[in-house]
A and B are shown apart, each in its own frame.
Chain A
């Protein structure tokens, strides 16, 4: 998947391109204050480079596209609702741009952010 065959040839869509869409959909989703690195290695890499879609992983397996997003949520919001909205927004935006169904959107809540002064 991630590729479409036309009469002119084949269109490949890289996981990174999809990750960027998912990244923006996530960041504009209410309750999300940041995306989190998937692991330590990515955390270090993210401080060195400016990757456009850190915290998002896109996997192709055969016909399926799976997207994992790792997020940090604002403390005091209902976590399940926020995660739900993120999954919905990511699926909708990516499917709209891609025109193909996404198999799974997995949301990993990596942490909470407390922005209250009191």
Chain B
């Protein structure tokens, strides 16, 4: 193959990007190191995209100038750890090609070596078993290959081969990968970029991800879509037994002519195919599969109709927040669930910030709520002890006059709302609300996530626990036991009103049954049940 010029490099970069993007989800799924946040593939794609954008409109250039532009683009768009390393690789790659018109085999080898050197300079303690290791192995493989041939295509083929082998070795170098049973995500991403380049040279398709089958149990066919794209009117799922061994690559390309969102699963000789198609094509996948084997089951769903139904449902739970007049006091409340938000709204809260246990809102979320209210007198109810600080920070940042009423639970927040007087003096109202939160007892019922021994109560993971005013009080086998235990510890019989807010996880039958048991046990108290919709907590109980 002839040496590569600037335009040739542009095509290779585009091919690497396209192939990486086609396999982006696979790379994301591997991401466990250094932080398991599942974004390596996305970060690398964005970095490569930025590199390609830089050269997309460049006309005739020598390879040196073109590579410099790629390096510049990658630097500007570098995202995440792997993106930064990728940009360093490109920087080194471009450096040796400086001023040159063409890149031949030996020049490619020098560029890969410099890419490795530059990348390694960027870190004091390189961790092996990562994209750095793959870059190193790739450079070594190129140096070996050039002893045999100077043909750039053959060298690249050796490079891709070694990249694959090197990626497979990463779990031996980095124990955390081995524990998770994966190969390194950044290394795999680099492999896809190089492989994409080689596939382009060989004229192989780049836009379809590798045809993969997954175990049937891993197929996620739940309708989690928020919106549907054009061409996805129907979802068709077909179970079938192929007549002869299925040629996956051919099967995929046949399906691609019909629709999108293709998934294929396999288990015990049976296959399941999932596809999204246009209305007029909804029978085509069935005919196609029929030509390959015996169909055992077909499921077809009209996605458009489903989305419409979903839209109506979600608009049904619109909150009616209290209107705010300038100069009056407005209350911002943090709420973990739809039902609780509704109760707060009915009591006169002007703005809701989503949040609660394990999903603390950021200071900025709270600040935004302050800024959006057309008044400068604001009271905030954090309703969770972990959120009080964020609320105080937001108070310190905003120019508005904000009072934090340090409610540590939902019932405390609700009790405080009983004393809201929008026309009153903000200091006095806040003081009154703060006093009110002392007068309510809070019981929270949840499932223990680990085995502990706190406040003299021993808890095993998976048991139901109840907290009274934030202190662990009861551990029990069932929600019912936990509720009754906590109520008796809280001396519920000395109060007047017990309000249950049931969470999203508990079936409604079970909820009603437990509340009825409580009604029998506490005949003198008024018992109320409200749909709280909060996660994690089966019940939040207010006793006052």
Contact = CB atoms under 8 A, between A and B. Distances in A.
Nearest to A101: B386
B241 interface: no
Nearest to A92: B35
B112 to A, nearest CB: 18
A64 B76 CA distance: 35
A28 B83 contact: no
B141 interface: no
A32 B75 CA distance: 16
Given A31-B84, A77-B88, A85-B84, A118 B95 contact: yes
A64 B389 contact: yes
Interface of A: 6-7, 25, 27-34, 63-64, 74, 76-78, 81-82, 84-85, 88-89, 92-93, 103, 115, 118
11 contacts: A28-B124, A28-B126, A30-B81, A30-B132, A76-B88, A78-B83, A78-B87, A81-B78, A81-B83, A89-B34, A92-B36
Contacts of B125: 27-28
A81 B84 contact: yes
B79 interface: yes
Given A27-B125, A81-B83, A92 B91 contact: no
B85 interface: yes
B91 A76 contact: yes
A87 to B, nearest CB: 10
Contact of A78 (B37, B78, B95, B126): B78
Contacts of B389: 63-64, 103
A27 B87 CA distance: 19
B247 interface: no
Nearest to A34: B124
B517 interface: no
B80 A81 contact: yes
Interface string B67-94: 0000000011011110111011001000
A16 B516 CA distance: 54
A115 B37 contact: no
B81 A29 contact: yes
A69 B78 CA distance: 22
Considering the complex of A and B, which 9 residue pairs feature the smallest CB-CB distances, nearest first? A78-B78, A74-B122, A92-B35, A85-B81, A115-B121, A28-B125, A88-B35, A89-B34, A81-B78
Given A78-B76, A81-B80, A88-B35, A32 B88 contact: no
B34 A92 contact: yes
Contacts of B35: 88-89, 92
B308 interface: no
Contacts of A25: 34
A74 B121 contact: yes
Given A31-B84, A88-B37, A81 B123 contact: no
Nearest to B34: A89
B84 A77 contact: yes
B453 interface: yes
Among A30, A63, A93, residue most surrounded by chain B Cβ atoms (within 10 Å): A30
B211 interface: no
B128 to A, nearest CB: 11
Nearest to A114: B121
Nearest to A61: B389
Contacts of A30: 81, 84-85, 122-123, 132
A30 B35 CA distance: 13
B124 A32 contact: yes
A77 B81 contact: no
A77 B122 contact: yes
Contacts of A103: 389
A51 to B, nearest CB: 16
Contacts of A89: 34-35, 81
A53 B35 CA distance: 21
Interface in B460-478: none
A25 B37 CA distance: 16
Contact of A33 (B75, B88, B124): B124
A30 B89 CA distance: 12
Contacts of A7: 453, 456
Interface in B105-124: 121-124
Contacts of B75: 76-78
B408 to A, nearest CB: 12
B141 to A, nearest CB: 23
Interface in B380-437: 389
Nearest to B122: A74
Contacts of A85: 34, 80-81, 84
Contacts of B36: 92
B210 interface: no
Given A27-B125, A31-B122, A81 B79 contact: yes
B58 interface: no
A9 to B, nearest CB: 13
Contacts of A84: 80
Most-contacted residue by chain A among B36, B88, B453 (CB, 10 A): B88
Contacts of A6: 453
B84 A82 contact: yes
- The winner among A84, A85, A93 for most chain B CB atoms within 10 A is A85
Identify the interface centre among A76, A115, A118: most chain B CB within 10 Å of its CB. Answer: A76
Contact of A28 (B34, B78, B84, B121): B34
Given A29-B34, A89-B35, 6 more contacts: A27-B124, A33-B124, A76-B88, A77-B88, A89-B34, A92-B36
